[in-house]
């Protein structure tokens, strides 16, 4: 364990950030899973912007890499295009 005040504080902050990032990551994964499970096309169209926004926020916060975010959004958009065609 750290002995300096600043290092102890940094450890507390890192733990707090880790918990927050875990929460947002899990919430987004569940939203993606729910979006993929939708059966109606209109429901998919309604939920897609919300999920894309969640993915963008994760990338902005550094929870996931920006390329991973782009790949996730691309896959979801492809599924939407396939559903409409």
pTM comes to: 0.83
Q: Angle, nearest 10°, between helix axes 41-61 and 66-84?
A: 170
Work out the average pLDDT over 57-85. 91
The whole-angstrom separation of Cα 74 and Cα 55 is 11
pLDDT digits (tens, 9 = 90+) for 25-56: 999 999 999 999 998 888 999 999 999 999 99
The whole-angstrom separation of Cα 40 and Cα 12 is 45
Quick one: pLDDT band at residue 63, thresholds 50, 70, 90? very high
């Amino acid at each position: 364990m750290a002995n300096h005040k600043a290092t102890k504080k940094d450890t507390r902050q890192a733990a707090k950030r880790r918990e927050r990032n875990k929460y947002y990551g899990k919430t987004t994964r569940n939203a993606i899973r729910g979006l993929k499970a939708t059966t109606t096309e209109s429901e998919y169209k309604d939920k897609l912007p919300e999920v894309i926004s969640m993915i963008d926020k994760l990338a902005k916060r550094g929870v996931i890499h920006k390329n991973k975010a782009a790949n996730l959004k691309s896959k979801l958009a492809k599924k939407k295009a396939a559903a409409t065609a």
